[in-house]
Structure 1
Amino acid sequence: MPTILEVLTGRNVSINSDSVISGTNTTVRTNIQPEDWTPWRDFNYSTITHIFRAELQKPYRVEKGPKPLEKELIISDERTLETLFLKFLSPTVNYALNDQAGQAFLGEGSRCSDDADWSTISDQWFDDRGYLNLLPGDTKLDAKWRPNMLSDNFHEWQKVVSQVATYMARNYTRYGFILTDTKLVVLRLTRERIDAGMAMSRPQRTTATNFIHQRHSSDISMASTSISGSSYSDSDPENWAYCNPEYAVIDWNANGPRLTVKLALWALARMATSGDRYIDYSYPDLDTWRWADGCFVHNSSGVIKTKLSKHDVYQEAGTTSANTGMNIAGGPTQNESEQNNYPQSQYDEENAGETDQSGYHRGDLPIHMSGNPTFDYQSQDLPPQQDDEDDDGDNDGDDNDDDDDDDDDDEARTEVGSSHQLREHSRRSRIAVTIRIHKKGGGWYYVNARGDKVDTKKRNWTKVGDGYELEGHRHIYYTKRFPN
């Protein structure tokens, strides 16, 4: 049985674009107008496969789909290209994401209240309008947009990058992507520091932007509400100043031990749901740890552990190794320890040579969260201990479902979540879960905070508002509905 990594680095289908006609791209009225971009250097195969090495070595348990028909691979416009992606690309990524931390799902942008062609959603992230778009993306034809247009057709290059950057800003997420029939371009957005006077002089929108965007019709103008000189508000990310975005380009035909389209999309989805995704003025390196809430938190995966091993790199959020000295293997310096209330004695000398020290994911995920909050890590509770997890009383410890051994190759028990998603509810975390039906034998189950499947019955859950809650010893589980 292949591993998730082997499947995500396998060959993509061959796309026939001979019928595509070139044209222009959507015009965007937005304050976000990048003049250039800069390479996102640590978004690479080595870094990603190291961060997610445990997950990527798990078995991929889905049977290979039918061989694509020749006519399915012929595209003529963005709609046919997106249909191809939805059949031969996103299902592979989604099966690799299934039952992993964050519960991400890559699909149509219409699943969210947004105009992006692509969205990444999670049962753990929604508001009163529905799912939040954690990772917006747009589909473009290579005949209309290519990364090298920056130098030979700047106006068309800027249209597309501005469009996707605006989607990212609107959704308060630093990550986004552009997907064509020849390339995947991943983007990361960073705020630019400007003084108050400059901020006041920037043109402002009277309300949050609402694009009039006819999907798959790139020559239609994408308009927004009128530009006005209204008073400056820092609450609307479409009015913020941004640095030129960071980017990485992945070739559609890339396969084998290198960064591929499927692996990159999978990693972005994991980072957007389990790691930090909010837009900031600077970011730590991807494969680094910070001190928060009395423990160490991985800046990209959200994994939490109490001690750093020898090869772990400590770097606080909001800093980068390029402009600070905070890039310390194995732990912070004395000054940093004082600033972060970190006791030096917690450094794990016994396991200093290990690179895969046990870690776990924070399980307390909010049910509703939007905007760009400021997180006070030092005021949060101590992390949960790695001992027996919640049981709703119906699990006799013997689950006959074939997927029960999904975590057999995991070196550490994990809890679903990430550090910036902290909420206190009667001193217990609240976790959104999906109730599923066992493939064999029937019956319902959910995946608890440490990743175990727990049998359950509806009578054990309490009806609350628009869903149901189950109180465990350490967590409160929430679900919107039960399967029919």
Structure 2
Amino acid sequence: MAAQVSLLAYLQQGPPTLSVISQGQTHDNTTSSKYGARDIGETYTWNSFNIGTIMSQYGHHLRNTSIHLETIPNSPPQPINAEAGLRSRFDTYLIRHIRRAMQRSFQEFQASDQLGQRTALDFGEGNLACLKHGYTPDTAYFDPLLVAQTRPNRAPGDFKPSYKWSRDFENSPNPATERQFKQALSQVNFYMRQNNTRYGFLLTNRELVAIQKPDNTGRLLLSPQIPWEAQGNPAQPQMTVILALWYLGMLASDPQGSYLAGGLPA
């Protein structure tokens, strides 16, 4: 029988490092007539997206909720050379742990009558939520009790190889690199606008950056970079990718904070 560990210990795991094969791939991000770098205004640091905030809000829950231990595979991953490879490695190393942690939290909230107005969300491929005009994010947080064609994506996510996007591109002296920084953000911003939601993220083979959209003016709050392979332990917890995506699910589960003014999306 699998050992029981705290949810905090479970979420302190990290995947092995991913390498990239250089094969002359384009460094340009997806373009569309519906969105572009021009849509993104000022970007700011989402300073409160950190381990201190999480432990202040959920420390008791994370330390006192148990879950069957399932370790992240430690087999050396194949390198990637495209977004499809990154999606595949995400599925291999991370998605199951994020889903299990979220499910365990919502079970505990329901059992202790602490769910309140939250929605017990699930997490998976972008096409598991409703698709608007054929645009499909890579991932979705969604209400599994709603019909797939109608359930909004509470926090759309997108994958980019590190040669296409990094938060470090934000301050590049090269205008083309800065444009690609905003181009990738504009894609997630568009998905967020479609779903009238406040949260989203970008994930590369090197880092996760959570995104908050305070309004529809093009301003975005970006979390500090969270390394792909980051790990910690309950004694010295660190912000890991699976902890950050679990926390994004907790934020997205609250309808009072997850949607922009105007109510729930149609």
Q: TM range, normalised to the smaller chain?
A: 0.7 to 0.9
What corresponds to 1:95 in structure 2? 100
1:60 aligns with 2:81: no
* Counterpart amino acid of residue 60 in structure 1: I
Deviation, 1:183, is 0.7
Partner of 2:230 in structure 1? 254
1:158, distance to aligned residue in structure 2 (A): 1.2
Residue aligning to 1:308: none
Aligned to 1:142: 162
In structure 2, C-alpha distance between the alignment counterparts of 1:29 and 1:66, rounded to whole Å = 40
Match of 2:260 among 256, 261, 279: 279
| SS at 2:105 equivalent | coil
- CA RMSD, Structure 1 to Structure 2 (Å): 2.3
Q: Distance in 2 between matches of 1:20 and 1:172?
A: 38
Per the alignment, in what secondary structure is the counterpart of residue 251 of structure 2?
helix
How far apart are residue 279 of structure 1 and its match? Answer: 1.3
Out of 37, 40, 53, which is 1:34 matched to?
40
**In the superposition, relative to structure 1, how do residues 280 and 131 fare at CA in structure 2: closer, same or farther (>3 Å)?**
closer
Counterpart code for 1:51: Q
2:179 aligned counterpart, secondary structure? helix
Shift of 1:63: 3.3
Find 1:50's aligned residue among 56, 74, 82. 56
The match for 1:162 among 179, 183, 186 is 186
Amino acid in structure 2 at the alignment position of 1:121: F
User: Take 1:254 and 1:173, find their aligned partners in 2: how far apart are those partners?
Assistant: 28
Taking a change above 3 Å as real, the CA distance of residues 134 and 35 of structure 1, as seen in their structure-2 partners, is: same
1:8 corresponds to which of 11, 20, 26: 11
Q: Distance in 1 between matches of 2:197 and 2:105?
A: 20
Deviations 1:294-323 (A, max 9, x none): xxxxxxxxxxxxxxxxxxxxxxxxxxxxxx
Counterpart of 1:129 in structure 2 is 149
Query: Kindly tell me: are residues 180 and 138 of structure 1, through their superposed partners in 2, closer, same or farther at Cα, counting changes over 3 Å?
Result: same
CA contact (8 A) 1:15 1:181 kept: yes
The one-letter amino acid paired with 1:371 is P
Question: Of 114, 125, 137, which aligns to 1:108?
Answer: 125
Q: 1:94 touches 1:104 (CA, 8 Å); kept in 2?
A: no
Determine if contact 2:15/2:229 at 8 Å carries over to the other structure. yes
Q: For 1:129 and 1:145, how far apart are their aligned partners in 2?
A: 31
Q: Give the superposition deviation at 1:243.
A: 4.4
Give the Cα–Cα distance (whole angstroms) in 1 for the partners of residues 182 and 153 of structure 2: 22
Unaligned runs of 5+ in 1: 192-240, 282-368, 373-484
Report the CA distance between 1:66 and its aligned residue.
5.0
TM-score (ref. length: structure 2): 0.79
Q: Is the contact between residue 20 and residue 143 of structure 1 (CA under 8 Å) also seen in structure 2?
A: no
Distance 1:62 1:21, change over 3 A: farther
Distance 1:274 1:55, change over 3 A: farther
Structure 1 position 269 matched with structure 2 position 258: no
What is the identity percentage for the equivalent residue pairs of Structure 1 and Structure 2? Answer: 26
Identify which of 88, 112, 121 aligns with 1:83.
Answer: 88
The answer for the alignment partner of 1:371 in structure 2 is: 265
In 1, the alpha carbon distance for the partners of 2:45 and 2:70 equals: 37
Compared with structure 1, are the counterparts of its residues 262 and 128 closer, same or farther at alpha carbon in structure 2 (3 Å cutoff)?
Answer: closer
SS of residue matched to 2:155: coil
Q: How far has the Cα of 1:60 moved from its partner?
A: 2.1
* C-alpha contact (below 8 Å) 1:121/1:131 kept by paired residues: yes
Offset at 1:94? 0.9
Query: Against the structure 1 CA distance between its residues 20 and 146, is the aligned structure 2 distance closer, same or farther, given a 3 Å change threshold?
Result: farther
Look up the match of 1:189.
213
Residue number in structure 2 paired with 1:74: 79
* Length, aligned pairs only: 233
Equivalent AA in structure 2 for residue 132 of structure 1: P
Query: What pairs up with 1:194-273 in 2 under 5 angstroms?
Result: 241-248=216-223, 249-256=225-232, 257-273=237-253
Distance in 2, matches of 1:95 and 1:20, equals 36
Task: Give, in whole Å, the separation in 2 of the partners of 1:258 and 1:21.
Answer: 35
Query: Which residue pairs with 1:172 in the alignment?
Result: 196
SS at match of 1:100: helix
Asked if 2 retains the 8 angstrom alpha-carbon contact of 1:21 and 1:143, the reply is no
Matches for 1:333-372 after TM superposition, within 5 Å: 370-371=264-265
| In structure 2, distance between residues paired with 1:66 and 1:22 | 28
Q: Which runs of 5+ in 2 are unaligned?
A: 107-118
Match of 2:109 in 1: none
